Chain A
Amino acid sequence: MNTQIKKGLLEYCVLSQLQGGESYGYQMIKDISEYISISESTLYPILRRLEAEGLVQTRNVEHNNRIRRYFSLTEEGKMRLHDFVAERYELIRVIDFISGKEQKRDE
Chain B
Amino acid sequence: MNKKIFLDRLKKNLKELKPAEIHKHLNYYEELFSDMIENGLSEAEATAKIGTPEKIAEEILENAAVEEFRERDTVGRVLTGMSIVFVVIAVLAKVCGWVLPMSFSTSSTGTSIGIIGGADGPTSSFVAGKVGEPVALYALAATMITMTIIYKIYRRNKK
Interface residues of chain A, those whose CB is within 8 Å of chain B, are 24-27, 39-41, 44-45, 48, 64, 66-69
Give the top 9 A-B pairs by smallest Cβ distance, nearest first: A26-B35, A40-B50, A45-B63, A44-B28, A41-B56, A41-B59, A25-B32, A26-B32, A40-B32
Which B residues touch A41, using CB under 8 A? 50-51, 55-56, 59-60
Assess whether B25 is interfacial by the CB under 8 Å rule. Answer: yes
What band does the interface of chain B fall in when counting residues whose beta carbon is under 8 Å from A?
20 to 34
Proximity string of chain B (21-64) to chain A, C-beta cutoff 8 Å, 1 when within and 0 when not: 00011011111101110110000000001110001100110010
Which B residues touch A44, using CB under 8 A? 25, 28
Q: List 14 A-B contacts (CB under 8 A).
A: A24-B31, A25-B28, A25-B31, A25-B35, A26-B31, A26-B32, A39-B51, A40-B51, A41-B51, A41-B59, A45-B60, A67-B31, A68-B31, A68-B35
Complex CA–CA separation, A69 to B51 (angstroms): 21
Q: Is the CB of A40 within 8 A of B49?
A: yes
Complex CA–CA separation, A50 to B38 (angstroms): 27
